[in-house]
Amino acid sequence: MTRREAWLSAMGIFLVALLVRAWAAAQMPFPTPEDATYYWGAARNLVDGNGLTANALWSYATPARDASGGLSLGFPRPAFEIWLPLPTLLAAIPMALLRSTSYGAALVVPVLTGALVPVLAWRVGADLAAERALAPERARTLALGSGLVAAVSLPLVLSSAVLDSTAPFGVAALAACLLGTRLLREPRGARARDLRLIGLGLTLGLAAIARNEAIWVALAWALLAASLAGASRAERARLVLVPACVALAVVAPWLVREAMTFGSPLPGQAITNAWAITGFEIFAWKEPATLAGYLAAGPAAWLGDRVGGFSHNL
């Protein structure tokens, strides 16, 4: 594929994805579900000069602390006791530029970031075709097919029509994977200032302030880089440590803010949510989800919830 063909392919897929997502977002005049409302509300408060605050209580599990160090359930309250702020931070940019706190202004972010996902899917397809040494026509079909399918795939379109963490996380995670594969193919010469290493760290850091699942992408990279055959110990160390330091620099301000606001740099409710059987315990005041309750429910309840949820999604 020539450079000109590559650019035209990427631009074509981006435009198709953008038009589809813009149309889908136009059908969503009000934020739904409640997480989109939460991100939007926090973005409005930020643009209005009220900082990262929320006018709604998402759950009771991690209440903020007041000036005296005691627990506070008042309003407005510090936002993001469990969720991560990237969708709100990104949404605040077009809202500030357009001088509008409307939901339509906030939707610029998921539409644009969501339109980048099919472009990255196209690139993944092209890389796979090259790795499998496919004939040029088959390689083009695989790459363009991957991008166009992602451009119109309903789950991806829906996640790009609401203000949510899915699209920003998808862009950051896919970009990290693409950079990682290039580093694994050509680790020689990877120095501390290598833009590929810095870019990998930036994308991992951005993914980490979008969704907690970024930890799995980072761990996968660390395992692959640390076990890379043919690389020296110093090269493997650079492949792991440089992106880790850059990612930590991106995430560190948020961890400090969380520690000062909620008493812990980590989302304390994330573990609590893992013990929920029905999901309602996440929002319970008197009977929150606990490990003891989870174990007492037994395997039938665990499998029933998981299998039932899986069947419902199908």
pLDDT in tens, 38-73: 999 999 999 999 999 988 877 766 665 555 555 566
Whether residue 232 is found in the same domain as residue 169: yes
Closest CA to 1 of 15, 9, 116: 9
Query: Higher-confidence residue: 230 or 52?
Result: 52
Q: With a cut of 50, say whether residue 314 has pLDDT above it.
A: no
The answer to the question of residue 301 being in a domain is yes
Which domain covers residue 196, as residue numbers?
Answer: 165-268
Residues 76-97: tens digit of each pLDDT:
888 888 889 999 999 999 999 9
Q: What is the pLDDT of residue 287?
A: 78
Whether residue 250 is found in the same domain as residue 184: yes
Whether residue 259 is found in the same domain as residue 298: no
Q: With a cut of 90, say whether residue 121 has pLDDT above it.
A: yes
Structure tokens at 126: 């092209």
The answer to the question of residue 127 being in a domain is no
Whether residue 185 is found in the same domain as residue 249: yes
Whether residue 191 is found in the same domain as residue 218: yes
Q: Where does the pLDDT of residue 310 fall: very low under 50, low under 70, confident under 90, or very high at 90 and above? A: very low
* Total of domains in the chain: 2
The answer to the question of residue 252 being in a domain is yes
Q: What is the pLDDT of residue 235?
A: 86
Residue 154 CB burial class (10 angstroms; 0-12, 13-18, ≥19): exposed
Contact 288, 60 (CB under 8 A): yes
Whether residue 259 is found in the same domain as residue 288: no
The answer to the question of residue 58 being in a domain is no
Whether residue 258 is found in the same domain as residue 190: yes
Whether residue 264 is found in the same domain as residue 170: yes
Residues 234-269: tens digit of each pLDDT:
888 899 999 999 999 999 999 999 888 877 787 767
Residues 151-210: tens digit of each pLDDT:
999 999 999 999 999 999 999 999 999 999 999 888 776 676 788 999 999 999 999 999
Q: What is the pLDDT of residue 311?
A: 40
Whether residue 237 is found in the same domain as residue 302: no
Q: With a cut of 60, say whether residue 312 has pLDDT above it.
A: no
Mean pLDDT of the chain: 87
Q: With a cut of 70, say whether residue 305 has pLDDT above it.
A: no
The answer to the question of residue 152 being in a domain is no
Instruction: Give the end-to-end CA distance of the chain in Å, rounded to a whole number.
Output: 38
Confidence (pTM): 0.86
Q: What percent of the chain has pLDDT over 70?
A: 90
* CA–CA gap between residue 195 and residue 126 (Å, rounded): 22
The answer to the question of residue 287 being in a domain is yes
* CA–CA gap between residue 26 and residue 157 (Å, rounded): 12
Q: Where does the pLDDT of residue 222 fall: very low under 50, low under 70, confident under 90, or very high at 90 and above? A: very high
